[in-house]
Structure 1
Amino acid sequence: MELFELLNEDGTKQGIVKEREAVHREGDLHGGSHVWVSRYSAKYKRIEILLQKRRFDKDAFPGCWDVSCAGHMDQGEDFITTAIREAGEELGLFIEKEDLDFLFSQLVEGKYVFHGKPFWNREVNHVFLLKKEVQGDMLNFQKEEIEMLEWQDAEHIKNELINNNPEYCIFLKEYMGLYEYLVNKYEGNKAGDE
């Protein structure tokens, strides 16, 4: 049984612990961490983002393209320890705090229905970018959670989100924050390729 600590909007803990299913049924505010993995392809002169396709039997957003890795903050964790744990569990990447760039925090909320059941998600997320280079052979994804991994062109993802493609369950505002950060980060690489 997964237990979540309820949060205030500023990400501080309320001192209340609830079971995951009850949290999503009642819309309690809880925490999560998102870790984005990116690379610059000199060959194609483009930024690529690693996306995971969620398994079709997931309780939320089944079969959708999602953040490289993401997860809820379990009881006793903070945003950093959640990010590190999720990178290890979902992608087989063993990282440390120094491997992550904190980008921003966000408050997200939405009411959905999955598999005929209501699902109310209210989260404070901390969004991170993995600094270390990742090669395909470093990845060993969690088959119980993820259908497949795929490197996708950053511009393509942006267009899919703007056009509300239901195959993607990524928050547009979050992605645009990441996208702008990466464009600035890799700008020097593009100039060097010419």
Structure 2
Amino acid sequence: MVRRIVELVDARGTTLGECPVEEAHQPPGRLHRAFSIMLFDEQDRVLLQRRALSKSRFPGLWANTCCSHPAAGEDVAESAAKRLDEEMGLRVGELREVGTFVYQALDGQGAAEHEFDHVLMGDLDSSAELSPDREEIEELAWLPYAELVSDAASRPERYAPWIPGVIALIERARSAN
């Protein structure tokens, strides 16, 4: 198994160093760079994934289309596009970064998140063939964006803890257009 290394950052995203991903996720978590992708279809639906039950952090919760960590020094957009291909067999056009936020969360199973999260948006035709990696993804679902916003607010326990930050940045980007 390849040992994944993540980039440690400060609250402004300035690189401080690197460490193994497992170490970054030990409570209380070490602040490191991550990304969250949200893909929209032509009907303003978002592609969500339910995290595999075997995941070490927040298993079985609904999350955005794809999320991961760029390797230390790797371009975020390039890493995000590569991860979409690895996790879902998807190749999309442009991924637009809409902002960053920092969050910290304990998962109740002995792991933690403390991430400087880059949020990216992209478009995907709903007829695209999806090939989810079952080690990462339990299931996929298209959900109207407005329904996601409402459901995540009323039933947050169903969603990964970074979803509110992802939604907030997408809302800001959409209102600016």
From the two aligned structures, give the one with the greater helix fraction. Answer: 1
Aligned match of 1:123? 115
Give the partner amino acid of 2:99.
F
Larger Rg: 1
TM-score, normalised to structure 1, is 0.80
Task: Tell me by how many angstroms 1:158 deviates.
Answer: 1.2
Cα offset, 1:180, TM superposition = 5.2
What is the root-mean-square deviation of aligned Cα atoms in Å?
Answer: 2.0
> Residue in 2 aligned with 1:28?
30
Aligned to 2:145: 154
Structure 1 residue 37: Cα displacement: 0.4
- Gaps spanning 5+ residues in structure 1: where? 42-46, 186-194
Which among 52, 55, 58 is matched to residue 55 of structure 2?
Answer: 58
Could you tell me whether the CA contact under 8 Å between 1:32 and 1:82 is conserved in 2? no
Aligned to 1:10: 12
Deviation string, structure 1 residues 88-143 (Cα, Å, up to 9, x no partner): 112212246xx1111111111122322xxx2221111111111x432333322212
Summarize the Cα distance change of 1:34–1:168 in structure 2 as closer, same or farther, 3 Å threshold: same
Aligned residues: 173
Please give the per-residue CA displacement for 1:141-185, whole angstroms capped at 9, x wherever unaligned.
212100111101212211111113312114323213314544776
Task: Report what 1:188 is aligned to.
Answer: none
Q: Are the aligned partners of 1:158 and 1:176 in contact in 2 as well (CA < 8 Å)? A: no
Q: CA deviation at 1:29?
A: 0.9
CA separation in 1, counterparts of 2:25 and 2:97? 26
1:30-55: CA deviation from partner (whole Å, max 9, x where unpaired)? 111111101232xxxxx211101111
User: What amino acid maps onto 1:156 in structure 2?
Assistant: E
